[in-house]
Amino acid sequence: MNSASIPASVTVIGLGNMGVALADAFLKGGHPTTVWNRSADKANGLVEKGAVLAGSVREAIAASNLVVVCLSTYKVMQEQLAPLENELSGRVIVNLTTGTPEDARKTAKWVSEHGGQYLDGAIMAIPQMIGLPETLIFYGGSKALFEAYEPTLKLLGGNAAYLGEDYGVPLIYDLSLLTMMYGAWYGSMHAHALLSTANITGTEFLPYATNWVNHLIAPLLTDPVAARARDEGNFTTDVSNLNTNKLGLEHIIHASQEQGITVEWLMPLLTLATQKVAEGYGADSFDRVIEAIRKPLVK
């Protein structure tokens, strides 16, 4: 094998559940891989597979051009890298830590001020999905930089989606998808609490929940016509209007209260629906509540 065919070395900083999976995927892809973690013992399995455990973050950064960071928060990342700002020159930092879009933009600026290059990424997967061809990871930053490292980054998730130059956009997509997940997740937990007041088990409910999600909820949330109508601010409906959905919310709240179930999470939604009905939009689709959620536009 000549040197041109040897994959370039990579570094992974942070070996939590996700970082271990990332480093493992690079090793499987044949990349010499250096790792660092605060708790060094988490590197044991990777070292057995051929990874090099760096003795310090400084050593880890020095080991490779491409440095992938996956720590719990941006604050932790900053604490670890700030003392090493002089080591960033010539390095490509790909940060897969979850935070806010502003965290990502500030970090990109900071890396660039110290001579490094930066991509921000957001992993839309669990560790067990790392390395699969369908696994989705969003990236933002320089297109040329993304393209240069795309084959390597695709080892982590084959569906590597480049979203443009704005470093904050991957996290906007990430947090928007997570918002959908937590809304559905919490709704599911509320449903199970309500079911249990009549001694109905989750297993008994499952066939109906599956039918409901597959035939109504999933098509509703992924309907391209509805997405376009929302983009255009077109809230007409012949399906189910805001008045009907406001009543639906009130029924859930009253039934839950009768059973002694916590309804606090539903009250803000009812407030938004009530506000839009009061403004005269009762015959419009439930999507009208977006206007009440959005930050008011500065006139």
Ligand X SMILES: NC(=O)c1ccc[n+]([C@@H]2O[C@H](COP(=O)([O-])OP(=O)(O)OC[C@H]3O[C@@H](n4cnc5c(N)ncnc54)[C@H](OP(=O)(O)O)[C@@H]3O)[C@@H](O)[C@H]2O)c1
Query: Per rule CB under 6 A, is residue 182 in the interface with ligand X?
Result: no
Q: Which of 12, 217, 15, 177 is nearest to 94 (CA)?
A: 12
Q: Which is nearer to ligand X, 34 or 80 (CB)?
A: 80
Residues composing the chain? 299
Among 38, 109, 215, 254, which residue sits at the site for ligand X (rule: CB under 6 A)?
A: 38
Of 31-39, 106-114, 247-255, 284-292, the window that binds ligand X (rule: CB under 6 A) is 31-39
Is the distance from CB of 24 to CB of 44 less than 8 angstroms?
no
- Give the pairing type, strands 33-36 and 10-13: parallel
CA distances from 43 to 14, 46, 156 (A): 10, 5, 18
Q: Which is nearer to ligand X, 98 or 152 (CB)?
A: 98
- Shortest distance, position 70 Cβ to ligand X, whole Å: 5
Q: Which is nearer to ligand X, 70 or 269 (CB)?
A: 70
Among 18, 23, 66, 68, which residue sits at the site for ligand X (rule: CB under 6 A)?
A: 18
Among 29, 32, 58, 72, which residue sits at the site for ligand X (rule: CB under 6 A)?
A: 72
| C-alpha–C-alpha distance, residues 119 and 17, integer Å | 21
- Shortest distance, position 17 Cβ to ligand X, whole Å: 4
Taking CB under 6 A as the criterion, which residues in 112-151 touch ligand X?
123, 126-127
Going by C-beta distance under 8 Å and a sequence separation of 6 or more, which residues neighbour residue 165? Answer: 140, 141, 142, 143
CA distances from 224 to 22, 214, 216 (A): 34, 16, 14
Query: Per rule CB under 6 A, is residue 175 in the interface with ligand X?
Result: no
| C-alpha–C-alpha distance, residues 223 and 276, integer Å | 23
Tokens 């809304």 belong to 183
Give the binding-site size for ligand X (rule: CB under 6 A): 20
Applying CB under 6 A, the residues found at the interface with ligand X are: 14-19, 37-39, 42, 70-72, 76, 80, 97-98, 123, 126-127
